[in-house]
Amino acid sequence: MTNQSPLSADEVLDIVDEHDRVVDRAPRGEVYAQRLRHRAVFVLARDAAGRVFVHRRTARKLVFPSLYDMFVGGVVGAGESYDGAALREAEEELGVSGLPAPAPLFKFLYETPEHTWWCSIYETRCASPVAPQAEEVAWHAFLTEEELRRRLDEWTWTPDSLEAYRRLLAWRHERAEERAERR
C-alpha cells in the first residue's frame, strides 16, 4: 500500500466478488463512484477500563462525513491483509503505536444501493492514552457499553458501523448461548 493520505481518492484498493475473492484493482475514488465491492476493517477499541472508543468523523471524510462511529478502521489497501489493515487503521486513528494486534471476530457483506464492501470486525484494547488523527477524528470519548447504547438513538451514526455493531451484539449473544449450552 502506498503512503498516501488516508483520504486520498487515488489510493488503490482490491475489488472483490460476493465471495470476497480479489477480481481487480482500482483507485478509491473510482471504487466509490462506481460502487465497486471492496474490503474494510472495523476495530472496536476499548481502553483499560473496558470502555469503547467513540468518535465523530471529520467533515473531510470521503464516506459518511461528520457522522458518529463506534469503530476505528477503514478500507483495506490493494494487496493488504485484513489483519494488517486492522492494526494499521487502529494505530493511525487512535494515534498510538505498539497496539496489540486486533482480534478478528467475524466478517459480513455490507450492501446498500450506494455501497458494498466486505467488513471484517475486530476488537482490541488500547491501554495507552490516545491522540486521534485530526484528519480523521473531529471529536472522541471512551463510553461504557451502556452509554453507547443510550446514544444509538440520539446520534447520527455511520450506517455500516451501526450495522456492524448490531451484528457484534448478536454475535456476542450467540457465543454466550453456546457457552451456556456447553455447561
Q: Which DSSP category does 20 fall into? A: S
Helix (H) or strand (E) holding 162: helix 159-182
Instruction: Give pLDDT tens digits along the chain (183 positions).
Output: 333 344 477 899 999 999 999 999 999 999 999 999 999 999 999 999 999 999 999 999 888 999 999 999 999 999 999 999 999 999 999 999 999 999 999 999 999 999 999 999 999 999 999 999 898 899 999 999 999 999 999 999 999 999 999 999 999 999 999 889 988
pTM: 0.92
Residue 130, Cβ neighbours under 10 Å: how many? Answer: 18
Q: Residue 119 has which C-alpha cell?
A: 467488513
